[in-house]
Amino acid sequence: MWTESLTSSFQSIMAALKLNIYVCLYNLHLKILLPKISKHKPIRIMFYVNNLSMWKGDKLLDLLKKDDRFEPFAVSYLYSYHSTKENTECEQELSSHFSSLGVRYFSGFDFIRNKNISISEFKPDIIFFPQPYINYRSAIPLNALLSYIPYGFSIEDSKKFHNSLYQNVCWKYFVTNQLQKELKTKYNINHGVNVVVSGDPLADYFFDGHTPSSDSWPINNPQIKRIIWAPHHSITPQDWLNYSNFLEIADDMLNLAKEYNDKAQFVFKPHPMLKDKLYKLDSWGVEKTDSYFDAWKSLPNCNSAEGNYVDLFMSSDAMIHDCSAFTAEYLYVNKPVMYLTKEERMESFNQFANECFKVHYHGSSISDIKNFIDNVIKGIDPLADERTKLIKEQLRPKGNETVAGTIYKELCKIFE
């Protein structure tokens, strides 16, 4: 037993040492690379995108497209462990979205070889990777600057979420709030010297004054309350986060939707990774998973939604979820929201997440959920004032500057 422990400790020490050496070497390289790229005309900015639901960069693209010093484009980054069907659907969705924006889009995935195409083929000067905690070591080119914009709020206070290679070697690493910067300073090898507090890019979408579409809702009647159920993908004990109780309540939630057919309507909004997890689960598999997802579209008061969710949130009356980012993001619309909990599951929340969690209603059983739905239907919302205060103090952008505008100005500093 002690030899295994010693071996594990030695491996951890060696891994940390390698990471430290790589970060030091890359940051020395950055000092040479930065002035070279600043002279390129235009500077090619590549946005690596793995699914539309996590993409939050449209507002930034609007600003970059108007500046002829930059040439923004999007490239798909898909997962080889996902099914061909899922990756094909994701590719089509991304292609359609960026084409509608007038932004050049390239397929970055080789379906024949089932792997992503080398980044060097796209000749980027700046690369935005989609997630910060994936090990991109083999994919990071030495002739491009690396950046990151938040795809959602990070609610975990844990080193493993804050000290990846990518986070340490970014030229510009944007975060949602000051607390996130403090966590990077605390945990990262580089002490967060590359971190910029920009705010959450998603905030720009909620406060831009547009009228939301209500296409996702099957019943056009304001008396029939609109409720989202958004389960997370972490359905097994092996998952890092182990948030979700989906497996325990999946069938009951469908039955609940049937029970409230004349009082409420529901949209099933699963995490983009949930379907693939269920496909590979022995107790579910492809046939049962597809049948379950289809069931949410077959009921007269129900629907399912994937992809962009801003209008879905804005047009809803309430949400039930166990997703990390939604703990903050749904608060933008200032509607009643319920967090489905697991025993002892809140210990890893950071300070900001705990504040957001306090303005949620909490429950773990179907009876708890029914009580929440009944209150939504009756208009009972005792947390309304506390929720409004938190939104004003910590979520709503300050002043006239947009989050996209803040990020854009930071990118322009490359010319200084």
Q: What pLDDT is attached to residue 396?
A: 81
Residues 6+ apart with CB under 8 A from 3: none
Secondary structure letter of residue 156 according to DSSP: B
Rounded to 5 degrees, φ, ψ at 296 are -70, -20
**CA–CA separation, 142 and 135 (whole Å):** 16
Q: Which amino acid is at 234?
A: S
Q: Determine contact, residues 403/198, Cβ cutoff 8 Å.
A: yes
Q: Is the dihedral of CA 94, 96, 101, 105 positive or negative?
A: positive
Coil vs helix vs strand at 16: helix
Domains along the sequence of the chain with CATH:
20-205+399-415 (3.40.50), 225-395 (3.40.50.12580)
Mean pLDDT, contiguous 10-residue spans, the chain (416 residues) = 48 66 82 92 94 90 96 92 87 95 94 90 92 65 88 70 80 89 86 91 90 92 95 77 83 96 96 90 94 96 90 97 90 96 65 90 94 98 97 81 94 91
Residues with Cβ within 8 Å of residue 347, at least 6 apart in sequence: none
Token pair of 414, please? 């490359």
Q: What are phi and psi of 44, to 5 degrees?
A: -85, 115
Q: Do the beta carbons of residue 126 and residue 147 sit within 8 Å?
A: yes
- Residue identified by tokens 């997890």 is 277
Helix axes 366-378, 246-259, angle to 10 degrees: 40
Residue 19: per-residue pLDDT: 74
Global confidence as pTM? 0.83
Q: pLDDT by residue (tens digit) across 277-314?
A: 899 899 999 999 999 999 999 999 999 998 789 999 99
Helix/strand/coil for 18: helix
Contact between 48 and 77 under an 8 Å Cβ cutoff? The reply is yes
137-155 b/e (C-beta count within 10 Å ≥ 16 → b): eebbeeebbbbbbbbbbbb
Q: What pLDDT score does 356 carry?
A: 92
Share of the chain above pLDDT 70, in %: 90
In the block, residue with structure tokens 């990777």: 129
Phi-psi region of 307 (alpha: psi -120 to 50; beta: other; left: phi over 0): left
Report the 10 Å Cβ neighbour count for 271: 25
**Gyration radius of the chain's alpha carbons:** 22
- At 36 the three-state DSSP class reads helix
Beta bridge partners of 196: 174
Q: What gap in Å lies between CA 111 and CA 89, rounded to an integer? A: 12
46-62 confidence digits (pLDDT tens): 999 988 888 999 999 99
106's tokens: 């390239």
Please give the Cα distance from 59 to 80 (Å, whole number).
29
**Amino acid letter, residue 306:** E
Nearest to 74 by CA among 100, 116, 107: 107
Pick from 61, 143, 40: nearest CA to 104: 61
Q: 304, 309, 128, 123: which is closest to 205 by C-alpha?
A: 309
Q: Report the amino acid identity of residue 204.
A: D
